[in-house]
Amino acid sequence: MFVLVVRFDCRDLNAAARFDELTAEVVGAIEEREPGTLTYATHAVEEEPLARVFYEVYRDRDAFQAHEDAEHVKRFHAAKESLLVGTRVEFLTGGPLVTRA
């Protein structure tokens, strides 16, 4: 598996609303067209109305690259840029550090 977490910080409430619209559009396309994308969860951040976090799980690096190369994702990336003041991407490694018994 290949996993990453992305935090997006929107410039204002109007930008956050437009970002959410773009997110809804792209998530539908991801679910329909990307069998290698296992989880694509998007969240608002409690008490931070301009922050969004995406948790993404791909079958492998090739599936992630297919995701990045998809036209619907390229359109999303191009459309979101003017809405943001910051982005942070973290690629995760290994399995869970704690497991339940």
Q: What is the pLDDT of residues 32-69, one digit of tens each?
A: 999 999 999 999 999 999 999 999 999 999 999 999 99
In a domain, 99, yes or no: no
Confidence at 94, pLDDT banded by 50, 70, 90: confident
Q: What is the pTM of this model?
A: 0.90
In a domain, 76, yes or no: yes
Query: Angle 63-69-74 (CA atoms, 0-180°, nearest 5)?
Result: 130
In a domain, 101, yes or no: no
In a domain, 97, yes or no: no
Query: Angle 75-83-65 (CA atoms, 0-180°, nearest 5)?
Result: 35
Asked if 76 and 29 count as a contact pair (C-beta separation under 8 A), the reply is no
Structural domain count, the chain: 1
Q: What is the CATH number of the domain that holds 75?
A: 3.30.70.100
In a domain, 98, yes or no: no
In a domain, 16, yes or no: yes
pLDDT at 21: 98
In a domain, 84, yes or no: yes
The CA distance from 29 to 66, in Å, is 13
Query: 26: domain range?
Result: 2-92
Query: Angle 71-61-67 (CA atoms, 0-180°, nearest 5)?
Result: 15
